[in-house]
Amino acid sequence: MKLERIDLQRIKIPLNSPFETSMGVETHKECILVRAYSGKHVGFGESVAMDVPVYNEEDVDTVWYMLEKYLIPQLFKREIEHPDEVSHLFSWMRRNHMAKAALEGAVWDLYAKMQGMSLSQALGGTRTTIDVGVSIGIEPTIEKLLQRVEGFVRDGYKKIKVKIKPGFDVEPMRAIRQTFGPDVPLMADANSAYTLSDIEMLKELDEFGLIMIEQPLAHDDIIDHATLQRELKTPICLDESIHTVEDARKAIGLGSCRIINIKIGRVGGLTDAKKIHDLCQANHVPVWCGGMLEAGIGRAHNIAMASLANFTIPGDTSPSHRYFAEDIVTPWIDFAKPGVLNVPTAPGIGFDINEQAIRSALVEHKSYFANCESTTTLIPNY
Ligand SMILES: O=C(O)CCC(=O)C1=CC=C[C@@H](O)[C@@H]1C(=O)O
Ligand SMILES: [Mg+2]
């Protein structure tokens, strides 16, 4: 496929309620939508970088900059046979995975549409439905947390993920277990809030029969996580520490984790997400699809990826209304039955674009054309 035009749209959407983690409080979802045009087809992608670089080194501005200055011009230079070529094409650039993934995702969607297949099929997905969980931010009180958990359990979510941080960890988890019993599928996500000096507290979490403790230690660590995993019964799941298939290989080899949370944007796109999925499958390490509070296009990409066979743990792909009063896709992403989403069978991401919702949320829109002189490439010829 020859890309003729690429559009970037920066949008900002209010969250239904603030979402607090150990990294801070989010009240809006700000992201960049990517539209990739070839002939009569258009593919859609979405960047997941936050508006401040607290989750990784990127933010919305760095994503736009890297796309405009390097990645879009480079893609215009090439005829792409298969989307798997894009991550190699971008491999000269260090990191900036969320910028790369937003553009690569649009190419994957475009490719699937041109082939007349769903994105799930194009990726090799086998599931026709996916079980989904919910991520609950840090609440001001344990009582408020219990109210949120009660509502989501009633809604039928297949996994309840609770954010923890120093001072809000053992007691909230104990209260959930005492209130809802041992059968609620429960996990904790620490977002790197602890160190090995907290090992005794982290071992206390073992009594709650959690599915996993996600990213308890430093965002760039796999050594201390291996030490901690040897002391814990509860499986450690790595999120922020895993950026590449090599990171995953090393973490599995060291015993740093027993589960991996795959986020398309964190690992640089669908091609690399699939490589990590396949490596984990070969090593009997289950994976699940993490979330970044995506709007509908990003959420649709997550659904397609989560249809791959080794995504055996419910992911954080809640229906749109969990976070937003209006979504940028139609139909809205919603349960087919409690805790279950259908995997679309229509071509590409399988959702239409709600242009009115995008217009309402639009901050900036810019079109780039392959035949435009100003779209020059500032990188060596790779
Ligand atoms: O998108 C969702 O529903 C889950 C969001 C979520 O839990 C996270 C988003 C971004 C960073 C973190 O706060 C956290 C995570 O680490 O998984
Ligand atoms: Mg996480």
Q: Is 201 exposed, middle or buried (0-12, 13-18, 19+ CB in 10 A)?
A: middle
Using CB distances shorter than 6 Å, the residues near ligand 1 are: 21, 55, 135, 189, 191, 239, 290-293, 316, 318
The protein residues having their C-beta less than 5 angstroms from ligand 2 (an ion) are: 189, 214, 239
Q: Please state the atom number of ligand 1 nearest to the C-alpha of residue 261.
A: 17
pTM (two decimals):
0.96
Question: What is the structure's pLDDT at 21?
Answer: 84
Mean pLDDT for all residues in the chain: 96
Cα 239 to ligand 2 centroid, rounded to whole Å? 5
CA–CA distance from 150 to each of 136, 175, 339 (Å)? 11, 12, 14
Using the predicted structure, report yes or no on whether residue 80 has a pLDDT greater than 70.
yes
Q: What are the pLDDT digits (tens) for 135-189?
A: 999 899 999 999 999 999 999 999 999 999 999 999 999 999 999 999 999 999 9
Please tell me the distance from the alpha carbon of residue 106 to that of residue 34, in angstroms, as a whole number. 6
30 annotated as ligand-binding: no
Question: What is the structure's pLDDT at 380?
Answer: 44
What is the mean pLDDT of the segment spanning 1-30?
Answer: 94
Please tell me the distance from the alpha carbon of residue 11 to that of residue 324, in angstroms, as a whole number. 13
233 noted as active-site residue = no
163 noted as active-site residue = yes
Please answer whether residues 225 and 212 qualify as being in contact, where contact means their C-beta atoms are separated by less than 8 angstroms: no
Using the predicted structure, report yes or no on whether residue 382 has a pLDDT greater than 80.
no
**Which residues face 11 on adjacent strands?**
31, 362
Enter the tokens of residue 331. 């139909």
107 dihedral zone (left: phi>0; alpha: psi -120 to 50; beta): alpha
Distance between first and last Cα of the chain: 19
Using the predicted structure, report yes or no on whether residue 240 has a pLDDT greater than 80.
yes
Phi–psi pair at 46, nearest 5 degrees? -145, 130
What is the mean pLDDT of the segment spanning 34-48?
Answer: 97
Q: Please state the atom number of ligand 1 nearest to the C-alpha of residue 163.
A: 7
239 annotated as ligand-binding: yes
Give the fold, CATH level 3, of 5-116+354-369.
Enolase-like; domain 1 (3.30.390)
**Which residues face 118 on adjacent strands?**
348
Q: What are the pLDDT digits (tens) for 214-229?
A: 999 999 999 999 999 9
Please answer whether residues 180 and 157 qualify as being in contact, where contact means their C-beta atoms are separated by less than 8 angstroms: no
My answer on whether omega of the bond before 331 falls inside 30° of 0, hence cis, is: yes
At residue 308, what is the residue type? Answer: L
Q: What are the pLDDT digits (tens) for 241-284?
A: 999 999 999 999 999 999 999 999 999 999 999 999 999 999 99
Question: For 344, which DSSP code?
Answer: P
Residue closest via CA to ligand 1's atom 13 equals 21
Where do the structural domains in the chain lie, given as residue ranges?
Answer: 5-116+354-369, 121-350
Three-state secondary structure call for residue 282:
helix
The percent of residues in the chain predicted with pLDDT above 70, rounded, is 97
Please tell me the distance from the alpha carbon of residue 107 to that of residue 112, in angstroms, as a whole number. 9
Whole-complex ipTM: 0.96
Cα 81 to ligand 2 centroid, rounded to whole Å? 34
Residues in the chain: 382
- Please tell us whether the domain made up of 121-350 is placed in CATH 3.20.20.120: yes
Ligand closest to 259 (CA) is: 2
Please tell me the distance from the alpha carbon of residue 164 to that of residue 142, in angstroms, as a whole number. 11
At residue 124, what is the residue type? Answer: G
Phi–psi pair at 200, nearest 5 degrees? -65, -40
Q: What are the pLDDT digits (tens) for 329-374?
A: 999 999 999 999 999 999 999 999 999 999 999 999 999 999 875 5
Residue 331: CB atoms within 10 Å:
13
- Write down the residue that tokens 């002189």 correspond to: 373
206 annotated as ligand-binding: no
> Which one from 163, 233, 250, 366 is the annotated catalytic residue?
163
Please tell me the distance from the alpha carbon of residue 20 to that of residue 80, in angstroms, as a whole number. 41
